[in-house]
A and B are shown apart, each in its own frame.
Chain A
């Protein structure tokens, strides 16, 4: 009886349910992600790091199938390493994004990967590229992805501005993810952010208990 077969709930493919976001500002980019990896109803990892380095100043946010996105990241990291050795310099964000797009588009029937690539290079400054399912490549000022992104589309449309400072961009990312985590069952855990500028890369982590309470939620008791 399918109703009582727990494998239906707990032994499905590992999926990055996910809420991911990247926002550019003058001088760099901020990437953000939740930390929940689910296998059906089971949360396989509640502190997952979905923001993966492709190069020193180019990072990737992963959503969709965990295995597909890990495989894509591996290939792109390898090609970038080769490319940087031949070029004798850092890879451009647009090049990294193009490599990921080629993989995603040419294997579109087999892959389930929603990617956001963002970083800093001398050529383009801070750049954000969206590569949704199917392999479209879009250069955008900001983008959101993953299952949780649907719930914050309206919020982001309303509150995004093209003149954020680094602090404002980061605050926007954290608030957006807080709202997505509140409403999406496949997103949760903590909020991880990566800020990339010419000066380098800064990683940050906000535990779930420290996120602001949204509508209807009670704030975390002070003792925790």
Chain B
């Protein structure tokens, strides 16, 4: 594999792009939702640099503590830096407290960082977790430093397309399966319409027993209006993971 040609191709795609900043950018759709027993978090897998998809299976779900996770959208660099700092502070705090910090505390750490550096940072984040005080919780921490507790939250460029769906389809006290299906469907709908979101779906479900990670490969993502099923022949031959569409 000629790595030089690979790099040149990517640089070509960046310079051809109308987007003048070739900085890696998590276009993204992120979704977090409480249910009867915990929270479900989900994200797509696309990281784009202009028109080039630099990572088509990235993990935008970052673990901050055993019980609290962070969903990242906006500048990839900024959100990684924020996540690293908050993870560091949270580990210290957990050590001092002798137990898992509350979700609200972690959300406040993230929000404070966004607020105090609002001129420099571009991170739209969701903090979700479970603690013994208040069960499953979701906090929206958008650019600017607001902190908003919500029953469910979405962010990222793809979230525009699913506000109507979320408003309509969310219901209180869902079961774990309903909530996981709901998050997966919401992500699939957004990924179908947003050029900056796509690829795979990753979800994390947090309940009192811990965290469960799920992975939905590109060919298993639910399909909707106007989307074609993968060819039956490819599926039968076991090469469904290489479907080109």
Where the two chains meet, the residues of A that have a C-beta atom closer than 8 Å to any C-beta of B are 150-158, 160, 175-176, 179-180, 182-183, 214-216
Contact = CB atoms under 8 A, between A and B. Distances in A.
B186 A154 contact: yes
B7 interface: no
Nearest to B194: A153
B167 A179 contact: yes
A180 B192 contact: no
Interface centre among B164, B186, B193, by most chain A C-beta atoms within 10 angstroms, is B164
26 contacts: A150-B160, A151-B160, A151-B163, A152-B163, A153-B161, A153-B164, A153-B189, A153-B193, A154-B161, A154-B164, A154-B192, A154-B193, A155-B165, A156-B225, A157-B189, A157-B225, A158-B165, A158-B169, A158-B189, A158-B225, A160-B225, A179-B164, A179-B168, A183-B167, A214-B167, A215-B168
B207 interface: no
A215 B166 contact: yes
B161 A215 contact: no
B185 interface: yes
B89 interface: no
Interface centre among A155, A158, A175, A214, by most chain B C-beta atoms within 10 angstroms, is A158
B224 interface: yes
Interface residues of B, number: 19
B193 A183 contact: no
Interface in B184-237: 185-186, 189-190, 192-193, 224-225
A6 B108 CA distance: 36
A215 B165 contact: no
A27 to B, nearest CB: 21
Interface of B: 160-170, 185-186, 189-190, 192-193, 224-225
A150 B185 CA distance: 17
Nearest to A162: B225
B43 to A, nearest CB: 16
A158 B187 CA distance: 12
B177 to A, nearest CB: 18
Contacts of B190: 154
Contacts of B162: 153-155
Nearest to A182: B167
Of all A-B residue pairs in the complex, the 8 with the closest CB atoms, nearest first, are A154-B189, A179-B164, A155-B164, A152-B164, A154-B162, A215-B167, A154-B165, A157-B224
A157 B190 CA distance: 10
A150 B160 CA distance: 6
Given A158-B165, A158-B169, A158-B189, 19 more contacts: A151-B164, A152-B163, A152-B164, A152-B165, A153-B161, A153-B189, A153-B193, A154-B161, A154-B162, A154-B189, A155-B168, A158-B185, A158-B224, A175-B168, A179-B163, A179-B167, A182-B164, A182-B167, A215-B170
